[in-house]
Structure 1
Amino acid sequence: MKANQGMMDLTKGSIAKGLVQFTIPVIFGQILQQLYSIADAWVLGNYADNTAFAAVSSTNSLIFLMIGLFNGTAIGGGVVISRYFGAKDEKGVEMAIHTNVLFGLIASVLVTLAGLFLIPQMIKLMKVPEDVLPQSLLYFRIYFAGSATVILYNVFTSIMRALGDSIHPLYYLAFSSVVNVVLDLLLVAKFHQGVAGAAFATVLSQGLSMLLCLMRMRKSKDYTRISWKKIKWYPQMMKKVIQQGLPAGIQNSVISIGNVVIQTNINAFGEFAMTGAGAHSKIEGFVFIPITSMVLTLPTFISQNLGAKEYDRAKKGALFGILTSVILAEGIGLIVYVFSPQLIHIFAKSEEAVRYGVIQERIMTLFYGLMAFSHSATGVLRGSGRSIVPMVTMLGIWCGVRVLYVTIAIQIVPVFQTICWAYPLTWGLSSIVFLIYLLKSNWLHTYDTMM
């Protein structure tokens, strides 16, 4: 079985070298992905008013709630592809690819409809201030009208990464990121379209990267080529994709439910708190890229090696990935802690908004290692086919405990800092659960009963 150019067989060679080589393009891709968000925030922060920035900031948790369910499922579906790829099963790879594409098409329709009809009611429940609400609704409507571009892009990149190709998604994303920045400057800075311009820029540029990925996979000459005629309902394969992917998708949405509750409590502190928290989220998303990238790499590495029955190699790769993520996260956290005022100032002009952002950063950044451990453990378990374990853990801790804590604690100590402590608390609890599970369970041999 000969792979296409750009694909990596992670079942051979140096473990550390293979993981790093695969992760580096993912890192650059994540940087470019963040530029979509960063460009919107920077342009709005400098060429629009604070209300526009607050409107976009208030949408993040709710967008991830809707999109995260299906994007997480796409990542889990990629695990199925990696498994067959590692086992050198060409027919299995072909069927899994087309099943994932079909899932993406169905998900695109569902998310578009749900976003357009349900989001207006949901955003009102989040207690968005009246002066921010109209612009938040406008951003949502435009974004979800084009949500198919976001979902299908994630499906296609998940397929390419599952096959060991982390290079070509980077190329396409680089091109579309430039388009996004140009459109932001034109629509927001020059033509003063505010949140509408930022939303159009995001959707159009994301759609471009999606089309480039599709063109690449349509030009493939072997079993990895996407053919419209082969996009069919394969019941057993769809069952496997949903079994592996749906828990990951639910996990993403569960995290978002907790974050929506937290965002609702942040909104109660007013526009400047919303802006400061929004600025922090932009910085956190950007500086946490190396860890996020390793987490995206681990399912492919683990799944390919377990598919090839390279159990010891999978175990060593998991250890290397987790340790690397934790060390990087703590180093990054210290840097952000020191320079938090300057970093918040990049996105927030108001000193009051900066004050809120600094409060949040100096509570959370020192605990980034715990967040990195939990996310990395999730990547390992997804790759091993045990995606239900992180789903249940996140449901109980990152949603249940987080919501319970914020709901009760904010009544006892009604200050902004109380909300911020929800994150380190739940990161620590989930890390304990994952550590015990990885040490005590036989997660390496899940695939023996799943092929």
Structure 2
Amino acid sequence: MQKDLTAGPITKTMLAFAGPMIAGNLLQQFYNIADSFVVGQFVGPDALAAVGSAYTLMTFLTSILIGLCMGSGAIFSFYFGKNEPAKMKSRVQAAFLLIGGISVFINILAFLFLDGILRLLQVPEELFAMMRSYVFLILFGIFFIFLYNFFAFLLRALGNSVAPLWFLGSTVVLNVGLDVLFVVGFRWGIEGAAVATVLSQMISGIGIAAYTFIKEPSLRFGKNFFRCEKGAAPEILRFSLASSAQQSVMNFGVLMVQGLVNSFGPQVMAAFAAAVKIDSFAYMPAQEFANAYSLFISQNFGAGKEERIRRGTKSAFGISLSYCAVISVLVFILAKFLMMIFISPENREIIQIGVGYLRVEGAFYCGIGLLFLLYGYFRGINRPVMSLVLTVISLGTRVALAYLLAPLPQIGVWGIWWAVPIGWALADITGLAVMGGFAKRRTTAGA
């Protein structure tokens, strides 16, 4: 099912397209929360700390692939908007070969250097063996993560945001069920959570690939699969590497912060693991709405509809910032209750640390919501390098301030927390200034 985003009511079209994407990621975040809940309640705070730290590592590794898929999705959407199916198919084949090969390479490197990576993360000795066992198993799912995201971004580029939702929803339900079975029923501990995740990722990746080839026969890989159109591979690399760099730089910064958090010990690690899950769940709808907005921009950019881009941008900013303002108030007020979803009430110090994090981040969700929109805008108008620049500003500020302030006894972990919204603000100011310049030049050129 394809959907043309270049026609119809703007706000209604964007919301209808974004709805399944948001629902899908809410389901994904629900799984992450359920996973942490099962591990935290039935294995213990140390296991929660290990899973939380491992989640940050895996997010970094998979962000490289997700960024590549996201960048290629913008190209697919561009050629779909231009109504050039032959060029689109050649880009799909080139992207699959390139990104698939990169996923295998990353997987091999991660297995080879696993111990060294965990040492760099300053994982406490009492958690090292547990975390290593969990990560070793989770790494087997990397290729399936590539499969799911590649075909999900391909289907979304065609305007089909519903099918990825169904596959994600089904596998999330399976994942939670297997979590309960393996961790609570079979008492496999943290390894059971890892096995449940990998099995679910395998079903999701293979399933959505099969669905795509059944529903979109024109995109099936033929006998010329390994012979791409001249210029297709360089174009894919130009877009995808920029998006991948943006995603990986962002998550590498988070990984560096995780290493700093780990240096404060298991209690801070456990608090951070739980609070980040809540944080991600809270602002995720703004992130997915921005991804939908980006594809809206990309299709209309390909079709040359500048006025529709302008009106869509105004509508998107109003929707996203309104949502972020409301969710900021809710997280700030409910921070303690939200922490107790993961942490037993008797662990008061862990809860208190997490509440501090949430009340700093929660007050400034409009900053990250705006930044997500700026990322989407620059990807949509074929300026993915600008998204990377904004990420470097945001994460560079965050990491630098965190490492500067956290060692000071009178500041400690609060320096890590406050570095985040300051980084968002600097990137937002820069992005808005550049966005205004781009829009002005395009308006002048069109006049």
Task: Please give the range of the TM-score, normalised by the shorter of the 2 chains.
Answer: over 0.9
Structure 1 CA distance for aligned equivalents of residues 249 and 391 of structure 2: 7
State which of 255, 260, 283 in structure 1 corresponds to 2:255. Answer: 260
1:234 to partner: Cα distance: 4.0
Is the alpha carbon distance of 1:429 and 1:40 closer, same or farther for their aligned partners in structure 2, counting shifts above 3 Å? same
State which of 9, 16, 23 in structure 1 corresponds to 2:18. Answer: 23
- Report SS of the residue matched to 1:212: helix
Structure 1 CA distance for aligned equivalents of residues 441 and 20 of structure 2: 27
- Give the corresponding residue for 1:379: 376
State which of 184, 188, 191 in structure 2 corresponds to 1:193. Answer: 188
1:140 to partner: Cα distance: 1.2
Once the two structures are superposed, what CA deviation does each residue of 1:425-450 show, in whole Å capped at 9, x if it has no partner?
A: 1011001001101111248859x9xx
Once the two structures are superposed, what CA deviation does each residue of 1:115-138 show, in whole Å capped at 9, x if it has no partner?
A: 111232122111111111111111
State which of 399, 405, 411 in structure 2 corresponds to 1:409. Answer: 405
Is the alpha carbon distance of 1:221 and 1:371 closer, same or farther for their aligned partners in structure 2, counting shifts above 3 Å? closer
- Report SS of the residue matched to 1:366: helix
1:223 to partner: Cα distance: 2.4
Structure 1 CA distance for aligned equivalents of residues 440 and 238 of structure 2: 16
- Give the corresponding residue for 2:327: 332
State which of 388, 391, 395 in structure 2 corresponds to 1:399. Answer: 395
- Give the corresponding residue for 1:85: 80
Consecutive unaligned residues in structure 2, runs of 5 or more? none
Structural RMSD (CA): 1.8
State which of 156, 172, 179 in structure 2 corresponds to 1:161. Answer: 156
Q: Tell me, yes or no, if the aligned pair for 1:248 and 1:391 is still in contact at 8 Å.
A: yes
Q: How many residue pairs get matched?
A: 441
State which of 180, 184, 190 in structure 1 corresponds to 2:179. Answer: 184
Is the alpha carbon distance of 1:227 and 1:176 closer, same or farther for their aligned partners in structure 2, counting shifts above 3 Å? farther
1:404 to partner: Cα distance: 1.7
What TM-score does the superposition give when structure 1 sets the normalisation length?
Answer: 0.94
Once the two structures are superposed, what CA deviation does each residue of 1:159-213 show, in whole Å capped at 9, x if it has no partner?
A: 1111110011111111111110111001111111122111111111111111121
Consecutive unaligned residues in structure 1, runs of 5 or more? 1-5
Structure 1 CA distance for aligned equivalents of residues 98 and 287 of structure 2: 24
1:101 counterpart letter in structure 2: F
Are 1:145 and 2:143 an aligned pair? no
2:267 counterpart letter in structure 1: F
State which of 420, 434, 443 in structure 2 corresponds to 1:437. Answer: 434
Structure 1 CA distance for aligned equivalents of residues 402 and 359 of structure 2: 19
1:34 counterpart letter in structure 2: Q
- Give the corresponding residue for 1:3: none
Structure 1 CA distance for aligned equivalents of residues 222 and 339 of structure 2: 47
Farther-moved stretch of structure 1 (94-103 vs 65-74): 94-103
What TM-score does the superposition give when structure 2 sets the normalisation length?
Answer: 0.95
Are 1:358 and 2:362 an aligned pair? no
- Give the corresponding residue for 2:242: 247
1:299 to partner: Cα distance: 1.9
Structure 2 CA distance for aligned equivalents of residues 229 and 43 of structure 1: 47
Structure 2 CA distance for aligned equivalents of residues 119 and 433 of structure 1: 37
Identity of counterpart residues, as a percentage?
A: 29
- Report SS of the residue matched to 1:59: helix
Q: Tell me, yes or no, if the aligned pair for 1:150 and 1:203 is still in contact at 8 Å.
A: no
Structure 2 CA distance for aligned equivalents of residues 24 and 15 of structure 1: 14
Structure 1 CA distance for aligned equivalents of residues 40 and 278 of structure 2: 14
- Give the corresponding residue for 2:298: 303
State which of 278, 284, 289 in structure 1 corresponds to 2:284. Answer: 289
2:29 counterpart letter in structure 1: Q
Structure 1 CA distance for aligned equivalents of residues 320 and 280 of structure 2: 15
1:68 counterpart letter in structure 2: S
Farther-moved stretch of structure 1 (381-390 vs 34-43): 34-43
Are 1:318 and 2:313 an aligned pair? yes
1:411 counterpart letter in structure 2: P
